[in-house]
Amino acid sequence: MIPVCRLEDLPEGESVRVETTPPVAVFHTEEGELYAVDDTCTHQDASLSQGWLEGRQVECPLHAASFDLRTGQPTCLPARRPVRTHRVTVEDGVVHVHLTVAEGTAAWARSTPVVPSAPQAHSPSAAEGTRTA
């Protein structure tokens, strides 16, 4: 379980890149759900955390492939392979990622939307991830 940032430091519609190996992108959708996938596009070397979030999909900033954040599956070319998904939890106002160990999208690790509860008190020094969006 890897702490990412405080929930209030990841507003809806934004994403954050977590410098794990490999890097992970965490998304907070406009609908208030949290998802995490591998940050590197499966087509070439682009950071999905710098892509465009639309609903539960992210569009790669380099060649515009889209991925479903719930499953990691590409929804259009040129990407053909899925990105791994990772479970996200919020504990005491801190977003955590639970990294998927195996390749692929094991059922237990598919992104489950986390709908955060009431906002927590702001802590300006709590960000632990690298914000890119």
Residues that bind ligand FES in the complex, under the rule CB under 6 A? 41, 43-44, 46, 60, 62-63, 65, 78-79
Between 63 and 131, whose beta carbon lies closer to ligand FES? 63
C-alpha 108: how far from chain center = 16
CB of 85 to ligand FES, least distance (A): 17
CB of 61 to ligand FES, least distance (A): 7
Between 35 and 96, whose beta carbon lies closer to ligand FES? 35
For the record, the structure tokens of 43 come out as 């087509």
CB of 116 to ligand FES, least distance (A): 29
Task: Yes or no: say if 108 and 37 are a contact pair by the CB < 8 Å rule.
Answer: no
Task: Yes or no: say if 44 and 50 are a contact pair by the CB < 8 Å rule.
Answer: no
Between 43 and 110, whose beta carbon lies closer to ligand FES? 43
CB of 30 to ligand FES, least distance (A): 22
User: Of 69, 72, 70, which is closest to residue 80 (Cα–Cα)?
Assistant: 72
Residues 6 or more apart from 79 whose CB is under 8 A from it? 41, 42, 43, 60, 65, 67
Between 16 and 41, whose beta carbon lies closer to ligand FES? 41
